[in-house]
Structure 1
């Protein structure tokens, strides 16, 4: 049979952990979708846009109808342009993130794939997606952290990208500190409870003796 103190401590720990668990899980449940639709004028994607670093790339975003370069949502999408290549396709993450994928469209026969990097090492590569004028989703198939994407294609000038989706992951230190603080608080409460039981027993003994 569990003692009342054990039950109360367990309840306290559960109630204290719940907000922390929800806070850690929130970034995974709330992914960022890069639509380009909040950029009013055609032009290069800004160097720091939507939590990503585009400064080393040639990505150009634009609006308006232009088959077969169909946006997946809204009116805007991004292209590497006629002078684009894998070398000018790199997109960096401002914080380590999980990358879910993006939507692509382009000329028939053009294909696109994505290489995922973390800390300078290649950690995963997607399969090649063959394109058409109907946007198709290319998933990363990788659940680990990434900090850079590099795109590869048999014809980099003839495809567009839309609705790139990722989720930034919080610094692990913040969660560790919170859990450490929770453990200390639980220890203090346990010691206070134990001290209270000792005092109560001592008082009862003194009364019986008297």
Structure 2
């Protein structure tokens, strides 16, 4: 058996080699841990992104309008006794107005509609609608297609299509109209002539109604 004495140089080199191996082992271990952690983070990020896409798809699908053509119908109920179309509800550029602080005396003619909010005397002619507003006072003959009275009228009314007296309205005079609508609370007195019937003497209010055919 031969014993070899190790010198200092060989001992130093052996220690260096041992340290290198130890450092390499620790570095590889840290690298494996980092890769494992990165893999977990990537998996979590992918799962979160996938959930986000699914949520977005659901939100977009919910926000898209549903085609209901042919299945949904919207109907508007109408109340019996209410006025049909009329510019007295929605005045336009062809509507003439006698203002509340105005006083008209004479003959007024318009090819559109007329609103009376003040006072008028004489004759009022409108091709379309004539509206006597609440608080207005008319001592004149009224000639129009449709007549709506919410104020006071003393005189002749000739409505070619329809006459309507609102609850605040008061009519005193002769009336000629194919259709007549009188609301509860309205007051009328005078003579009524309708197409296909004779003249009817009438006096009505919300409390009492009296009717007598002329000639009897």
State the TM-score, normalizing by the size of structure 1: 0.24
Which one has the bigger strand percentage? 2
- Pick the structure with greater CA Rg: 2
TM-score, normalisation: structure 2: 0.23
